[in-house]
Structure 1
Amino acid sequence: MSLPNEIEIRVLDARLNDWGLPRYQTALAAGLDLIACLDAPLTLEPQAPAVLIPSGLALHMNAEGLCAMVLPRSGLGHKKGLVLGNGVGLIDADYTAQLYISAWNRNPAGSGSALTVQPGERIAQLVFVPVLRPALRVVEQFSAGSARGAGGFGSTGV
């Protein structure tokens, strides 16, 4: 399986040409910044339902073994409380419609910590990730035991 070195994008909002197309901010950055393509500032109240914010672009990956993930920007999440309403957005290789960013203000209700997202603001990042799709085989018992076994959720201690 060969992964592409190039992904096609469609600019759906012409303002991206002025604000800047998604790009890697440093030479070794893993994610491309996604921009809020809003017509006006959007205020997110603490603990209010998540809001879908258009990115102004669409992708055409069309590659078996590839997906993209929309992730929060670390600084906005840690310093201001702006995170993704769905944790991580998964973009399948055959999805070609506009990308949206599910934005949520995780600050405590009643804290007065409303967040305002500005048009053209970098609010999330897009990371391309290889995907393995193994065949599933139903069995009555696993062919090899594991020292780990059942438990999970803290079963190895704290």
Structure 2
Amino acid sequence: MNSRIGVSEGAPTNAPVPVEVKRLAHGKGLDLPAYATDGAAGMDVVSAEDITLEPGARHPVATGLALAIPHGFEIQVRPRSGLALKHGITVPNTPGTIDSDYRGELKVILINHGAEAFAIKRGDRVAQLVLAPVVQAAWQEVDELDATERGAGGFGSTGGHAKL
């Protein structure tokens, strides 16, 4: 047995999941989302348009792609760490979710938290896409919840920087 629970030696642990992708007219010639390294969790996705994001501005950046994500999965849209650190460019609804039943164009909502305008050129990597399994909830309404040590303690109740 491998150190991973329930995985036999030699069994694939990360078999790729097929995701259908349709390249839209304005996506012609652009790279499909791709993993930059063998260990990458996210695929880099590129812009299909030239835009300039002014400080404080938001924009749904076109990718020129539409997807058919398999039922039971979602694609999470996440910021690129270099854009966030160096320029203040991020995804405001992180992670953004692309549902399996959506068939429109994949657009990446970006916001400029930086102090300067930021130019995005067609073909620039703008975000990461992570294919993730989805488990749907089945609500069970009850009169009382089980007791825990934390109880109803909310924001900051477990400590944080104030304890330093």
The alignment's C-alpha RMSD in Å is 1.7
Aligned to 1:102: 109
Aligned to 2:12: none
In structure 1, the gaps of 5 or more residues are none
Aligned to 2:155: 153
Corresponding letter in the other structure for 2:118: L
> Hey, what's the Cα distance between the residues in 2 that align with 1:146 and 1:54?
46
Aligned to 1:85: 92
TM-score under structure 1 normalisation? 0.85
- Output one character per residue of 1:84-113: Cα deviation in whole Å (capped at 9) or x when no partner: 132321111111111001111012xxx3x1
Does 1:47 pair with 2:56? yes
What's the secondary structure of 2:154's corresponding residue? coil
Structure 1 residue 8 displacement after superposition: 0.7
Corresponding letter in the other structure for 2:147: G
What's the secondary structure of 1:75's corresponding residue? helix
Structure 1 residue 140 displacement after superposition: 1.0
**Identity rate, percent:** 40
Corresponding letter in the other structure for 2:22: R
2:70 to 59, 62, 79: 62
Q: Is the 8 A contact 2:26 2:48 kept in 1?
A: no
Structure 1 residue 114 displacement after superposition: 1.2
Q: Is the 8 A contact 1:71 1:84 kept in 2?
A: yes
Corresponding letter in the other structure for 1:31: G
Number of residue pairs matched by the alignment: 146
User: How has the CA–CA distance of structure 1 residues 13 and 82 changed in structure 2, closer, same or farther, with 3 Å as cutoff?
Assistant: farther
Q: Is the 8 A contact 1:68 1:128 kept in 2?
A: yes
Structure 1 residue 15 displacement after superposition: 4.6
Runs of 4+ in 1 over 6 A off after TM superposition: none
Does 1:114 pair with 2:117? yes
- Output one character per residue of 1:104-144: Cα deviation in whole Å (capped at 9) or x when no partner: 1012xxx3x111111110000110111111210111101x2
2:144 to 141, 145, 151: 141
Structure 1 residue 20 displacement after superposition: 1.6
User: How has the CA–CA distance of structure 1 residues 102 and 76 changed in structure 2, closer, same or farther, with 3 Å as cutoff?
Assistant: same
* Structure possessing the higher relative contact order (Cα contacts under 8 Å, 6 or more residues apart): 1
- Output one character per residue of 1:1-26: Cα deviation in whole Å (capped at 9) or x when no partner: xx972111111146543x32111110
Q: Is the 8 A contact 2:63 2:107 kept in 1?
A: yes
TM-score under structure 2 normalisation? 0.82
